[in-house]
Amino acid sequence: MKEILREYDTYRQEQQEALKQREMEVMSALPELARLRHSLVTYLAQKARTLILNPDINPADEQEENLAKDISKKEKALLMENGYPKDYLTLHYRCPACRDTGYVGELVKEKCKCLIQKLVERTYSFSELSNLDKENFNTFDPDVFPDTPLPESNMTQKEYMQQMKAVLWEYQESYPHNPRKNLLFTGKTGLGKTFLLNCLAKAILDKGCTVLKVTSYNLFEHLFQSVISSSGEDSLMKESIFEVDTLIIDDLGTETRRNNFTAEELFNILNERYLNQKHTFLSTNLSLTDLREYYSDRVTSRLFDTQNTIILRFMGQDIRLRGKRT
Ligand SMILES: Nc1ncnc2c1ncn2[C@@H]1O[C@H](COP(=O)(O)OP(=O)(O)OP(=O)(O)O)[C@@H](O)[C@H]1O
Ligand SMILES: [Mg+2]
pLDDT tens digits, residue range 155-186? Answer: 999 999 999 999 999 999 999 999 999 999 99
Closest CA to ligand 1's atom 27: 189
C-alpha 195 – ligand 1 centre gap (Å): 5
Q: What mean pLDDT do residues 82-96 have?
A: 91
Going from the Cα of 151 to the center of ligand 2, the distance in angstroms, rounded, reads 23
Confidence of residue 205 (pLDDT cuts 50, 70, 90): confident
Residue 152: per-residue pLDDT: 84
Q: Is 175 exposed, middle or buried (0-12, 13-18, 19+ CB in 10 A)?
A: middle
Mean pLDDT of the chain: 89
Nearest atom (ligand 1) to Cα of 165: 1
Over residues 32-65, the pLDDT tens digits come to 999 988 988 898 888 888 888 887 777 777 777 8
All structural domains of the chain with their residue ranges = 2-92, 127-325
pLDDT given for residue 133 in this prediction: 86
Gap between the Cα atoms of 308 and 306, Å rounded:
5
What pLDDT digit, counting tens, does each position of 270-291 carry? 999 999 999 999 999 999 999 9
Which range (120-134, 209-223, 267-281) has the least confidence? 120-134
Residues forming beta bridges with residue 66, ordered by sequence position: none
Query: What is the distance in A from the centroid of ligand 1 to the CA of 303?
Result: 23
The reply to whether ligand 1 has any atom less than 6 angstroms from the CB of 323 is no
CA-to-CA dists, residue 90 to 24, 80, 102, 124, 321, angstroms: 13, 14, 20, 34, 63
Q: What is the pLDDT of residue 35?
A: 92
Q: At what angle do helices 236-243 and 113-126 cross, to 10 degrees?
A: 120
Higher pLDDT, 209 or 268: 268
pLDDT greater than 80 at residue 134: yes
Query: For residue 307, is pLDDT > 90?
Result: yes
Q: At residue 275, what is the residue type?
A: L
Any idea which architecture 127-325 has in CATH?
Answer: 3-Layer(aba) Sandwich (3.40)
What is the reported pLDDT for 65? 81
To test ligand 1's pocket by mutation, which of 141, 194, 315 has the most ligand atoms within 8 angstroms of CB?
194
Considering only CA atoms, which of 182, 206, 142 is closest in space to residue 278? Answer: 182
Instruction: Provide the pLDDT for residue 63.
Output: 79
Closest Cα to atom 8, ligand 1: which residue? 192
Q: Find the length of the chain.
A: 326
CA distance linking residue 296 with residue 155, whole number of Å: 35
**What is the model's pLDDT at position 79?**
94
Residue type, 66: N
Partnered with residue 214 across adjacent β-strands are 249
- Per-residue pLDDT, 145: 97
Q: What whole-number distance in Å separates Cα of residue 297 and Cα of residue 106?
A: 47
Nearest CA to ligand 1 atom 11: 192
